[in-house]
Amino acid sequence: MTAPAPVPDTARDWQQLIGSRVELRLDGRVVRTGEVEDATHDSAVMWLRFDGNHGRQLVSKADGYEVLPVS
């Protein structure tokens, strides 16, 4: 059995992701992609802006969301 891939520091520290394109995931599934507009200093919540007319969303780690940078 293989070990799970390590979680990048940017996935834990949302402040490092401001201005970056990311995948928003819930339960391991991609919900959508967007750009991180802002994040709280404790990385508890962030504003994620989506492409087109989809606006933006306040995302909370407490709701189970993960955010991974898109390379």
What are the residue ranges spanned by the domains of the chain? 9-69
Q: What is the pLDDT of residue 12?
A: 80
d(CA 64, CA 61): 5
Q: What is the pLDDT of residue 10?
A: 58
35-51 pLDDT tens trace? 999 999 999 999 999 87
Q: What is the pLDDT of residue 8?
A: 55
For domain 9-69, is the CATH number 2.30.30?
yes
The ranges of the chain with pLDDT < 50 are 3-4, 6
Task: Match 């909370």 to its residue by tokens.
Answer: 60
Residues 62/6, Cβ–Cβ less than 8 Å = no
Q: What is the pLDDT of residue 51?
A: 77
Residues 63/48, Cβ–Cβ less than 8 Å = no
Q: What is the pLDDT of residue 67?
A: 92
